[in-house]
Chain A
Amino acid sequence: MSTQINIENIGGITKPTKLTLKEGMNVIRAPNAVGKTSFIRAIQTMILPEDELKKRTEFLNDFATRGKVEMVMKNKTVYRTLRLGAEGLSVVGDALYKNGWKANLLSVAVPENDFLDNILKGKNLHDFFENFSETKNYKKLLEWCENRHYNLQRDLYRYTDDVTRLKNIRKQIEKYTKELENLGKERMKLKPIVENIKRGRVDKKLEEVSKKREKKNILYSRISELNYQIDIRKKDMPKLEKEIDRLDKEISEFHKTHPNVEKEIDKLWDKIIELRKVMDKAKDEVNEREVDISACEQGEGNRCRECGRPFTTEQRRKRQSDLRKQLTERRKELVSVESKIKETEIERDALIEERDRTLKYMSKELNEKSGTLTQYERDSKAWEKERNEKISEMNNVEKEITELEKALDPRTRGILQKAGEVESRVGETEGRLKGYNMEVEELSESQKIADQLQIKTEFLKSTIAYLTNRINELKDVVRKRFNERIKDVYEILGFKDFEKIEIDDMFQLTVRRKCGDRTRTQEINRLSTSERITIGVIVMLAGKEEYLPDFPFFVLDEVTTAYDPKRFEKIIDYLHHHVPYVVVTALAPTGEALHIEHKL
């Protein structure tokens, strides 16, 4: 079985090149700067996921705007095209393998491989394992929970005052309800005595006193209620005034900073329109240069526009070089204009948002709060007026009672006075309770919302702990399985240098080495370069076994294999038995083209 690879304009390979990989060992032999690295890049072009590939502008030949890799296999042909345009590098065609990110990290042993590089430098591998364990979604979910928890706690904080107030009121209600109960008992004791007095002496004056007392109690109860309502308003009004003041200041400040905001926004719009015109012009110029270069490469337009004579080779090269310089300049201009447009758009959007926030929402809030304050002032005035009227009315009733009671005998007067006092206190307490209950009604909605927020924040708190734990568990499972694979690969390879190679629970690669009778744990960066490279490739092989058992390629760069040829012979032998296509680059002293040696 074989796979044909057609390459054009990838790295240093400019001319359409056909190479065939056969099952088994494929040694790419060539001198330096002939295209060995470019060949590996062609394989990576087929492997990497699109978003990753778009960042690899170095994969495309420096002087080309379009490059292509095609793989012709037994059952199918797949291809990928890279194109450099005004928006950067674009990719057409699907990746060869769905898990290209892992395939590139675990099957392409080149110095640019981040995973291998981190191993060689003894760096922590935590971030890679986070991706291997696919905890990305867990992390996103955790992030969502943390953000929501923060927002809900902030919302909950807004209700803290109300909830505390409600708690205090409930305590007061409890206190006054008890007091009312005691007063009720006292009233029950006095009731038969008062009734006996009434029965024994059908006295018009006594009846009148009772009626007046009842009236006084009603007045007293209403006065208490009004006092309570006035007190609440007195507490609320300064807060409201402060809020109004703040809003007023912010709006005035905005007017001072932006005396003519609409004109300012219009100016920014005009600037964007102007910049867009410049951008369109720059885009046209980029396209023109691209067309010119492409025509020039295909041999068109290689004549002098004035005299019509064909250009000499030197003139043609100069023309191509001039056109490329112009293209680079235009692209720079284009990028600069695009960034200016973005900046101006951000400035415009920020100003519009500030205008809306200040002039629409803040003004609306200011009007609403001012309206509420006016209503509060009106209410307070009306309540104070009513309270003063009721106080004066109650004083008159009290005077009348005193006058009437003078005519009664002292004992009867004493009992009736006591009964009257009890009734007054009952009225006062009932008035207070009525006021408290009114406020409880107002605040209970806040309490309901606060309760809901509390349940949510508590649940999210447990969720955050749970997810953090799950993420660690998942990463640990992956780490342990990875270590088992390392052990398997190492045993098959039959190396004896180390007792154990493992990724520890802090995701640091360590080795255990026997030293006489003792065993020592060593960090990777304490080992020799050849040992580190060997271990790096073993870890890659373990990862490939774990995640990509069916991925048909493994690529080894000569820089990797050159350090320890003896050990790499064994590794290559291992690969030979485990991977269908093994690609190894090797330096040849002479030659002008890439040459593949196949070994079964």
Chain B
Amino acid sequence: MQDKLLSEFERIGIEAIKKGKTEELDKFLDGVVKNRDINLKRVIK
């Protein structure tokens, strides 16, 4: 599960860096806190 989460973070992180929207990464971290198994696509709208 951790590996899945890390590769999801990689995907979303690279997108966020390209767009210059690092606030999305903080949302992701909040999502990790909220529920480690959450569907992260729902967290990052």
Contact = CB atoms under 8 A, between A and B. Distances in A.
Nearest to B13: A141
Nearest to A458: B32
Interface string B30-42: 0011001000000
A145 B9 CA distance: 11
Given A137-B17, A462-B2, A470 B33 contact: no
Interface residues of A, number: 17
B44 interface: no
Interface in A125-170: 137-138, 140-141, 144-145, 148
B10 A466 contact: yes
B6 A140 contact: no
Interface string A451-471: 010011001101100110010
Interface in B11-33: 13-14, 16-18, 22, 25-26, 29, 32-33
A466 B7 CA distance: 9
A141 B33 contact: no
Contacts of B17: 137, 140-141, 144
B6 A463 contact: yes
Say which size band chain B's interface belongs to: 10 to 19
A148 B26 CA distance: 9
A455 B22 contact: no
Contact of B14 (A141, A455, A456, A466): A141
Given A141-B13, A462-B6, A470-B10, A456 B33 contact: yes
Contact of B25 (A137, A144, A466): A144
Contacts of B32: 455-456, 459
A138 B9 CA distance: 11
Contacts of B2: 462
A455 B32 CA distance: 8
A575 B26 CA distance: 50
B18 to A, nearest CB: 6
B14 A137 contact: yes
Given A452-B33, A456-B29, A137 B10 contact: no
Contacts of A470: 10
Contacts of A140: 17
Given A137-B14, A137-B17, A144 B33 contact: no
B23 to A, nearest CB: 11
A463 B33 contact: no
A362 to B, nearest CB: 28
B33 A455 contact: yes
A459 B13 contact: no
Identify the interface centre among A141, A144, A460: most chain B CB within 10 Å of its CB.
Answer: A141
A144 B14 contact: no
Nearest to A457: B29
A468 B45 CA distance: 27
Contacts of B25: 141, 144, 148
B22 A144 contact: yes
A138 B18 CA distance: 10
A144 B9 CA distance: 12
B29 A459 contact: yes
A138 B6 CA distance: 13
A463 B28 CA distance: 12
A458 B5 CA distance: 13
Contacts of B36: 455
A137 B33 contact: no
Contacts of B29: 148, 456, 459-460
Contacts of B18: 137
Interface string A402-435: 0000000000000000000000000000000000
A459 B13 CA distance: 14
Contacts of A148: 25-26, 29
A460 B14 CA distance: 15
B36 to A, nearest CB: 8
Contacts of A137: 14, 17-18
Contacts of A466: 6, 10
A140 B17 CA distance: 7
Interface in A40-55: none
A463 B29 CA distance: 11
Nearest to B20: A140
Contacts of A141: 10, 13-14, 16-17, 25
Contacts of B6: 462-463, 466
B11 to A, nearest CB: 11
A459 B1 CA distance: 12
Given A144-B22, A144-B25, A462-B6, A138 B33 contact: no
A138 B14 contact: yes
Nearest to A139: B17
Nearest to B28: A459
A452 to B, nearest CB: 5
Given A462-B6, A466-B10, 17 more contacts: A137-B17, A138-B14, A141-B13, A141-B14, A141-B16, A141-B25, A144-B22, A148-B26, A452-B33, A455-B32, A455-B36, A456-B32, A460-B29, A462-B2, A463-B6, A463-B9, A466-B6
Closest 9 CB pairs of A and B: A141-B13, A466-B6, A137-B17, A452-B33, A140-B17, A456-B29, A459-B32, A455-B33, A141-B17
21 contacts: A137-B18, A140-B17, A141-B10, A141-B16, A144-B13, A144-B17, A144-B22, A144-B25, A145-B13, A148-B25, A148-B29, A452-B33, A456-B33, A459-B29, A462-B2, A463-B6, A463-B9, A466-B6, A466-B10, A467-B10, A470-B10
